[in-house]
Structure 1
Amino acid sequence: MTTTKTTTTTLLDAATESPRPKHYRAIAAICLGNALEFYDFLVYSMLATLMARLFFPFGDHTLIPLMLSLAVFGTGFVMRPLGGLLIGLYADRVGRKAALRLTLWLMASGSLLFTLAPTYAQAGLLGPAVIILARLVQGFAVGGQIGSSTTMLMEYADKDSRGYYCSWQTFSQSLGIAFGGVLVMSLSSLLSAEAMDSWGWRLVFAVGILAIPISEYIRHRLPETEVHRKLVRQEPEGERQLKLLLRHPRQIVAGVLLVTGATVPIYTIQFYLANHAISVLHMPLAVATWAAIFACLPPLLLSAHAGRLSDRIGRRKSIFWPLPILLVAIYPAFLLVNLYPNILMLLAIVTVLSIPLTYTIVPNMALLPELFPARIRVSGMSIAYCIGVAVFGGFTQLFAAALVSLTGSPNAPAWYMFAAIVLSLAGLKLAPETAGRELD
């Protein structure tokens, strides 16, 4: 555990200057916990083609099993709004730290189900049913985790550093994805295809279970934020949290639209392009893991700078300027991948596109909790984030694969991302500027 904490601290220190010392260990602990949870939640996508063979061996066309496998990936997002609401209300009432610890054990339960799930050949439809249940549990957990951890980071900061503190949310998510990519790639290289199909994929999920008690121990030591402690000391307002949430429809709509413009590009660039290369362009399975790793490099290197930039020039400007770049670049990116189907082209595209993507998702992550008052901050952010992800972002890969199947054009998924970015511009119009302002 000492090695794990030292590694995380070194990564934080190397990225940019240190935050206030009294919060340094807390940020490191939250980053490690976030990385572990997003590893558990997103590693399925790196195994999507393998899971399609093992759990959905239906039909003669390779796209049908893949679409079913990607649909299971998307079911985790269906539970996100419910998890965001219930765990968010719990975090606003009981505490941010308590909610984070709850999500860890829920995520562990989902990982355990994946590890023990029988394949279709072993138990028929019971196998797909178990992994669907596992995804639902994980989706419920992540629905509450994202709002609790981001709010906790934000409430540790002062008004001039909230963007920087929240940038560690994006950094930690990318850290978890990169770790998952390295592990899947290593196992795929070390094990035979038969061993990977037999038990190697189970080891990937089992690693998540073994890491969670470490994160639980670290999170047990986190201090509750001063903002929440003040809320607890105050007299009850007599106004229920759900009723208070309903008084902020503009903020919720703005948050949903902003999340749509962030998460659809994330799942298109970091995940779908790799699965597209495997299923449509017939590249090897290792391509998916390499693409995920390379797509994580810009967030790992640039998130802290993107957060500081948003503190300096404002959230709205920071979110806006990368969007035209993504709009102009996405269709040519698909053209190039389909015209030159090789791993170097794919890695170059996902890396380059992830640079403007990083600079828009980091201020997005800071703006979402800033939209809501402290008494409903976690639940408000969670609902906005989880609805945007559930309705648009989480099913990006399924919609993209369906567009290819329906239109016959391998470039069709670019239009879905294009529409999502346009929606986010509408959300940005509704959102106020929050950088550098007192919130409560």
Structure 2
Amino acid sequence: MGEQSVRVRRPGRQLVAASIGNAVEWYDWYAYTFLAVYFSTQIFPNTADPVQGLLNAFAVFAVGFFMRPVGGLLLGWVADRVGRRNALTLTILLMGGGSLLMAVLPTYAQVGALSPILLVVARLVQGLSIGGEFAASTTFLVESAPPGRRGLFSSFQYVSTTIGQLIASGLSAVLASTLAKPDMTAWGWRIPFVVGAVIALVGFWIRRTADETHPAQEQLAAGNRPPLFAALQRYPRQSLLIVGVTIAGTITYYTWTTYVPTYAQLNGGLDPATTLVVGTIALAVFAVLQPLGGMLSDRYGRKPLLLGFAGGFALLVIPLLAAMTSFTGMLLAQVAGMVLLTGYTSIAAALNAEIVPGEVRASGIGFPYSLTVALFGGTAPYLATLLKDLGHPEWFLYYVVLLSVLGFVVYLRLPETAHRPLD
């Protein structure tokens, strides 16, 4: 029995349930990066060297990043065995718990080495949660969609991700501008994590009342419970295909949303304030574009958008980055990149769900997707900075072009899945 046999009575509420949780997940994830400069000197020893403390904080951030494949596998497996809704309530509780732990984290001066240990625990929990979130919410969103609307529903995966990022950035900026730096360092950095924990409780309540989209109980009754590695064992080709369709998307996404401000500062001579304003405007435009991309894919298919995305980046990433030497140049270039990127992000959830069969859909998406993001997306800013330091910043651009070309070839060979029945 496939997911199409499950009747979703309130698709609008389903959309809210998935989106609010995903926004909370990414709000907490990004709040860490924005606030690390303040709490790092409180958590790590040798606070006389703030740079070392910040490096330690980002090392812990990387540890959380590589927990995402584990979360995608384990919590995706939970979603396949006991239902998407149960997995989604678990992921938001984990993220809220990690955020609460961050909010009450004792300092190194108070508890010594236990402080950084607890920070690592919080990030491991949040990394596990965010890996499972993509697996469960992707399947939940797409399986909740009315006929002919899978692309539209899929697009809210990145709408909510971007909203979470903007809220984290906005709240952090407001606190930093209204509180004195000593107050921000002493206690102000805790406020966004308190807010994240509270919003997680709201998201938990909304998700508990959502409709289940996967007939897990019927599968359990029939003794058809997929083992942990069922997706990899039964569908290795589909698992490899998830990797193939994700590589170009994740390298360009993390380059364009995370590294571009740094690139404009290092290579274009722009100041941090300018790049922050431009980045915020571009993210807002990006969020608005997602539903449009999803609707276009429902009407004309997934492949035209995917080919336009990968081909566009392969041809334009170098000239677009070269244009980032002024406010106007950076704004136009970053928005143009966001338009191209929408060809992937707006339909990634739908495409993944249409590739993997329903019986193992969540785990079949979660593990290969999260592993690919960790290997290619999570390392993008570090690799770009390293190559710049070695005197070869252009090598990173060639790397992005190469992976975009690889993505174009994969998309060219993909069968069109937009108008097929799910499962």
Superposed pair shares fold, TM > 0.5: yes
Deviations 1:37-81 (CA, angstroms, capped at 9, x unpaired):
111112223345556666679899998766654443332221111
Alignment match, 2:157: 169
Indicate whether 1:377 and 2:361 are aligned.
Answer: yes
Q: Distance in 2 between matches of 1:177 and 1:321?
A: 26
Alignment match, 2:181: 193
Alignment match, 1:76: 64
Partner AA of 1:269 in structure 2 = W
Larger mean CA deviation between 125-134 and 292-301 belongs to: 125-134
Indicate whether 1:419 and 2:402 are aligned.
Answer: yes
Q: Distance in 2 between matches of 1:399 and 1:165?
A: 33
Correspondent of 1:317 among 301, 304, 313: 304
Correspondent of 1:114 among 102, 112, 128: 102
Correspondent of 2:215 among 228, 250, 256: 228
Q: Distance in 2 between matches of 1:381 and 1:191?
A: 43
Distance verdict in 2 for CA 1:327–1:67, change over 3 Å: farther
Distance verdict in 2 for CA 1:239–1:22, change over 3 Å: closer
Correspondent of 1:398 among 382, 386, 389: 382
Kindly indicate whether the alpha-carbon contact (under 8 Å) linking 1:264 and 1:396 is maintained by their aligned counterparts in 2.
yes
Deviations 1:125-172 (CA, angstroms, capped at 9, x unpaired):
654443333222111001111111111111112442211111111111
Alignment match, 1:334: 321
Q: How far has the Cα of 1:123 moved from its partner?
A: 6.3
Correspondent of 2:287 among 285, 297, 300: 300
Alignment match, 2:4: none
Unaligned runs of 5+ in 2: 1-7
Q: Distance in 1 between matches of 2:207 and 2:116?
A: 33
Q: How far has the Cα of 1:334 moved from its partner?
A: 3.5
Partner AA of 1:24 in structure 2 = G
Partner AA of 2:386 in structure 1 = A
Residues 75-94 of structure 1 aligned to structure 2 (within 5 Å) = 75-94=63-82
Q: Distance in 2 between matches of 1:63 and 1:335?
A: 29
Q: How far has the Cα of 1:250 moved from its partner?
A: 1.6
Partner AA of 1:353 in structure 2 = G
Partner AA of 1:267 in structure 2 = Y
Correspondent of 1:98 among 86, 99, 107: 86
Alignment match, 2:336: 352
Distance verdict in 2 for CA 1:95–1:133, change over 3 Å: same
1:318 alignment partner, SS class? helix
2:10 alignment partner, SS class? helix
Indicate whether 1:132 and 2:116 are aligned.
Answer: no
Deviations 1:284-310 (CA, angstroms, capped at 9, x unpaired):
665565354223223321111101111
Kindly indicate whether the alpha-carbon contact (under 8 Å) linking 1:334 and 1:410 is maintained by their aligned counterparts in 2.
no
1:321 alignment partner, SS class? helix
Partner AA of 1:82 in structure 2 = V
Q: Distance in 2 between matches of 1:132 and 1:291?
A: 32
Partner AA of 1:425 in structure 2 = F
2:347 alignment partner, SS class? helix
Distance verdict in 2 for CA 1:322–1:429, change over 3 Å: closer
Q: How far has the Cα of 1:83 moved from its partner?
A: 0.9
Q: How far has the Cα of 1:84 moved from its partner?
A: 0.8
Alignment match, 2:20: 32
Q: Distance in 1 between matches of 2:282 and 2:364?
A: 29
2:417 alignment partner, SS class? coil
Distance verdict in 2 for CA 1:45–1:431, change over 3 Å: farther
1:438 alignment partner, SS class? coil
Kindly indicate whether the alpha-carbon contact (under 8 Å) linking 1:181 and 1:290 is maintained by their aligned counterparts in 2.
no
Alignment match, 1:17: none
Q: Distance in 2 between matches of 1:22 and 1:412?
A: 49
Partner AA of 1:83 in structure 2 = G
Correspondent of 1:211 among 183, 189, 199: 199
Distance verdict in 2 for CA 1:241–1:68, change over 3 Å: closer
Kindly indicate whether the alpha-carbon contact (under 8 Å) linking 1:103 and 1:141 is maintained by their aligned counterparts in 2.
yes
Correspondent of 1:362 among 324, 346, 364: 346
Q: How far has the Cα of 1:244 moved from its partner?
A: 4.7
Larger mean CA deviation between 135-144 and 113-122 belongs to: 113-122
Q: Distance in 1 between matches of 2:54 and 2:321?
A: 19
Larger mean CA deviation between 277-286 and 103-112 belongs to: 277-286
Alignment match, 1:262: 249
Q: How far has the Cα of 1:109 moved from its partner?
A: 2.1
Q: Distance in 2 between matches of 1:327 and 1:398?
A: 21
Distance verdict in 2 for CA 1:318–1:344, change over 3 Å: closer
Q: Distance in 2 between matches of 1:144 and 1:88?
A: 6
Larger mean CA deviation between 388-397 and 240-249 belongs to: 240-249
Q: Distance in 1 between matches of 2:109 and 2:391?
A: 31
Alignment match, 1:273: 260
Q: Distance in 2 between matches of 1:203 and 1:270?
A: 25
Q: How far has the Cα of 1:282 moved from its partner?
A: 8.6
Kindly indicate whether the alpha-carbon contact (under 8 Å) linking 1:177 and 1:292 is maintained by their aligned counterparts in 2.
no
Partner AA of 1:93 in structure 2 = R
Q: Distance in 2 between matches of 1:188 and 1:44?
A: 14
Partner AA of 1:94 in structure 2 = V
Q: How many aligned residue pairs are there?
A: 416
Q: Distance in 1 between matches of 2:88 and 2:397?
A: 35
Indicate whether 1:45 and 2:33 are aligned.
Answer: yes
Larger mean CA deviation between 286-295 and 263-272 belongs to: 286-295
Alignment match, 2:5: none
Alignment match, 1:247: 234
Partner AA of 1:80 in structure 2 = R
Q: Distance in 1 between matches of 2:185 and 2:125?
A: 24
Larger mean CA deviation between 49-58 and 39-48 belongs to: 49-58
Distance verdict in 2 for CA 1:59–1:321, change over 3 Å: farther
